[in-house]
Each structure stands twice: as C-alpha cells, then as structure tokens.
C-alpha cells in the first residue's frame, strides 16, 4: 500500500479531523516561510542589511525603539496576507473536514488564511495570535483587542519604514501593535486566543470517545510548537498523525510521513479518497 493510500484510509476511517499548520502551509499560496536565517533574509532583504534575524525583528522592543521599522515589517506582512488567495489545498482540506462529524484547526500562522479559505472562525485556534487584530503596546491599557480591518499601512520598502499615520490605541493614543505573540513578549494580550483555546477544549471533550486523524502541514523545527502539539494530540487521542512537509518530514513511530509540499500532497490525498 502506498503512503497516500494509507493516509487516505486513515482519513476515511476517522470521525473527526484536526488540522495543525505552520508557515509552510502558506508557501504554495506564494507566502514566504521563515525557514532559517537565509530564508528570512530572502523574504526581507532589509533585515539582512540591518543584520537582524526573525527572532530579533519579531520583538515588541521595536515598537518602542523604532515604531516605523516595526510597522514596516508587520505592515508589509498585513498587506501581503490581505492580498493572498489561499491555494487549492485549503479547499481540499475544508471539503474533507466538512465530510467529518467535526473538525478543528490549530495554527501558529498569524495570516488568517484559514478564515479566508472558509474555515469557521469558532473552529480555529491561532496559538500565536493574528495580524488582523491590534492591541495597545501598553499591556496595562484597558483598550483590549480590536480588528485591524479599518487599518491601512503603507510601507516604504526602499527604506523599510512604515509611513505616517501609524495605528494608534483609541484609548491612550500610544502606538498600537499587532495582537501577535512575539519573541520576548510580555505585553501580548491573550484574551482572544484564550477564547479560541476554550473552543478547542470543548471540541476535544466532545470527541473524547471518537476516532480522530491529525493532518499537520508545513510545521518547522525552529519554533517546534505545532509539531509538539500534533504529536501530543496524536498520543493523547490515540489518533493517527499525518505529517506533510517537504523537508522536515521525520515522524514519531506510528505516524505517517508525506515528504511533499502541502498543495501537491493534498491533491494526491484527494485523488486517493475519491478512487
């Protein structure tokens, strides 16, 4: 039996589906992952010029030190994610999910691509937050979390500076920031994610005695949170993990490894499900 056939069989047998995803899920939509410092610098040549790595730039300190630079990075990404159309693999996943009694998405991506592809807002846990929401840079400010839908940010990519006006907190007028968990971040407001996590817990309780399958896509090793979550869920739920990743495809015993890009792998799985 081929790996694809095996994966398709596990999906067919399952009552519910959990999808876990990292930055690699967006690559086939044309989005960059930040794999290694070279990968990050390819996506952001200006960061190379500054000599800062992803872990250094994705740090709330820049909103104090140089908010125009901080917003160049996040404003560019906000615009990019807004312009991006999720690739066909998202639709295939959604079709599979809808045929099951229940599904849930857990992602470290902040890009909102699952919502854009039609996944239900209350079936997604964005563990690192979302770029489509904002908060005050001051953790103690009571302004909470608000949608970025009316926020427009123009970026001068030549000088890697966001143009005025930068988004500001409606309460205290300090500069606002994305509601994303950054590195060394003690000011991230987690209320939105906590609600999502409560939805996830409810889903897990409801399906405690059902048979599940986990499809993981594009989760890297640099920040291995998603990989750990997938492995832990597989173990706790006694569910099969299907890991899709063209490079980091090694799996624990009992899991299925598909060494391919997300879109191609999902198209192949779909073909096997239909055959």
Choose the contact partner of 101 out of Zn ion, ligand NAD, none; CB within 5 to 8 A by kind: none
Q: Residue number with the shortest CB distance to ligand NAD? A: 24
Beta partners for 146? Answer: 134
Q: How far is the CB of 258 from ligand NAD (least distance, A)?
A: 9
Half-sphere exposure of 212 (CA within 13 A, CB side): 25
Choose the contact partner of 233 out of ligand NAD, Zn ion, none; CB within 5 to 8 A by kind: none
State which H helix or E strand residue 30 sits in.
none
Q: Binding residues for ligand NAD, per CB under 6 A?
A: 22-24, 26-28, 31, 33-35, 108-111, 128, 217-220, 222-223, 244-248, 261-262
Beta strands in the chain (DSSP E): 16-21, 102-107, 124-126, 129-136, 145-147, 155-156, 161-162, 176-180, 212-217, 240-244, 256-258
What's the token pair of residue 275?
A: 């055959």
Choose the contact partner of 136 out of ligand NAD, Zn ion, none; CB within 5 to 8 A by kind: Zn ion
Choose the contact partner of 141 out of Zn ion, ligand NAD, none; CB within 5 to 8 A by kind: Zn ion
State which H helix or E strand residue 89 sits in.
helix 88-99
Q: Is 141 in the site for Zn ion (CB under 5 A)?
A: yes
Q: How far is the CB of 192 from Zn ion (least distance, A)?
A: 16
Nearer to ligand NAD, 70 or 219 (CB): 219
Residues lying near Zn ion in the complex (CB under 5 A) are found at 136, 141, 143, 169, 171-172, 174
């Amino acid at each position: 039996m081929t790996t694809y056939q095996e994966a398709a069989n596990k999906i067919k047998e399952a009552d519910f589906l959990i999808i876990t995803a990292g930055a690699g899920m967006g690559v086939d939509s044309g989005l960059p992952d930040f794999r290694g410092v070279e990968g990050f610098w390819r996506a952001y040549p200006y960061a190379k010029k500054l000599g800062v790595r992803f872990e250094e730039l994705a740090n709330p300190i820049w909103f104090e030190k140089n908010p125009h630079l901080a917003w160049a990075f996040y404003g560019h990404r906000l615009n990019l994610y807004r312009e991006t159309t999720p690739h066909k693999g998202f639709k295939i996943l959604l079709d599979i999910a809808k045929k099951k009694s229940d599904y849930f998405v857990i992602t470290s991506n902040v890009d909102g691509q699952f919502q854009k592809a039609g996944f239900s807002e209350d079936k997604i846990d964005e563990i690192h937050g979302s770029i489509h929401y904002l908060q005050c840079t001051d953790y103690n400010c009571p302004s909470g979390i608000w949608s970025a839908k009316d926020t427009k940010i123009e970026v001068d990519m030549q000088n890697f500076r966001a143009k005025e006006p930068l988004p500001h907190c409606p309460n205290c007028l300090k500069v606002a920031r994305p509601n994303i968990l950054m590195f060394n971040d003690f000011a991230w407001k987690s209320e939105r994610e906590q609600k999502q996590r409560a939805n996830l817990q409810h889903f897990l309780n409801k399906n405690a005695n059902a048979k599940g399958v986990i499809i993981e896509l594009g989760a890297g090793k640099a920040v291995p949170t998603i990989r750990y979550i997938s492995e832990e869920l597989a173990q706790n739920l006694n569910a099969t993990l299907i890991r899709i990743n063209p490079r980091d495809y090694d799996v624990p015993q009992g899991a299925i490894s598909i060494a391919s890009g997300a879109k191609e792998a999902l198209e192949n799985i779909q073909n096997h499900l239909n055959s």
